[in-house]
Amino acid sequence: MYYVQKTLTISAAHNLMLSYNSKCEHLHGHNWVITVYCKSQTLNRDGMVTDFTDIKRLVKDTFDHKYLNEVMDVNPSAENIAKWICDHVRNAYKVSVQESEGNVAIYEKDE
């Protein structure tokens, strides 16, 4: 099995729709640190699991300097961002999303 991981930082704003009162219901932003984990039993014709540039392009084009409530069709929590990225990056099986120091959400596909 081959494994790769790509870590990148984006800046984005959101506000959460919550079932309780929270300051996170108000518009605010983060410098998100995202790590995408990919794996494959075989390499593509270029000798790669997934091209790091493709991961960067997808994540940056979709989320960087965006208002996430307009990008996602679900509440843009760190958990939902992690799942979206995992579902859209080729060969991804796990994604971690750190929205602030000490606060990390991880989504991992069931195998």
Amino acid occupying residue 69: N
pLDDT of residue 32: 97
pLDDT of residue 8: 98
**Chunked mean pLDDT (size 10), the chain, 111 residues:** 98 95 92 98 97 98 98 97 98 97 95 72
What's the CA gap between 56 and 46, in Å, rounded?
18
Give me the sheet containing 103-108, strands edge to edge: 66-67, 2-14, 28-40, 92-100, 103-108
Classify domain 2-17+28-108 at the CATH superfamily level.
6-pyruvoyl tetrahydropterin synthase/QueD (3.30.479.10)
* The model's pTM: 0.94
Strands 28-40 and 2-14: antiparallel
Query: For residue 111, what pLDDT is reported?
Result: 72
DSSP, residue by residue, 13-46: EE----SS--GGGS-EEEEEEEEEEEEESS--TT
